[in-house]
Amino acid sequence: NAGVTQTPKFQVLKTGQSMTLQCAQDMNHNSMYWYRQDPGMGLRLIYYSASEGTTDKGEVPNGYNVSRLNKREFSLRLESAAPSQTSVYFCASRGGHLLAQYFGPGTRLLVL
């Protein structure tokens, strides 16, 4: 099992460009999440999907959109990147008998 995978690992964008961050999990979990991690702020929830076909806003959704393509895949899109979106983005899925969250390796995004 690969667990949670994310692509790309690193990306540099110019202000105003768009991109999609990809996430996939092979643990058959229903819930998936997107977080951003910034120095001194901890991880903050951007969007989540409790099940295939549903998505909901988290704490910091502005400037982002998401798609739950199927049970395995949950993508995060930046339509018009801004320097404030420079961050490390983590995808996670939730499941197992304890309903723990399992994280991917992260995508480092730099917006110039």
Partner 1 sequence: KQEVTQIPAALSVPEGENLVLNCSFTDSAIYNLQWFRQDPGKGLTSLLLIQSSQREQTSGRLNASLDKSSGRSTLYIAASQPGDSATYLCAVEGGANNLFFGTGTRLTVIP
Which residues, 42 to 101, sit near partner 1 by CB under 8 A? 42-45, 48, 50, 56, 58, 90, 92, 98-101
* Residue closer to partner 1, measured from CB, 56 or 79: 56
Q: Are strands 87-95 and 31-38 parallel, antiparallel or unpaired?
A: antiparallel
Q: How far is the CB of 78 from partner 1 (least distance, A)?
A: 20
Q: How far is the CB of 106 from partner 1 (least distance, A)?
A: 5
Binding site for partner 1 (CB under 8 A): 4, 31, 33, 40-45, 48, 50, 56, 58, 90, 92, 98-106
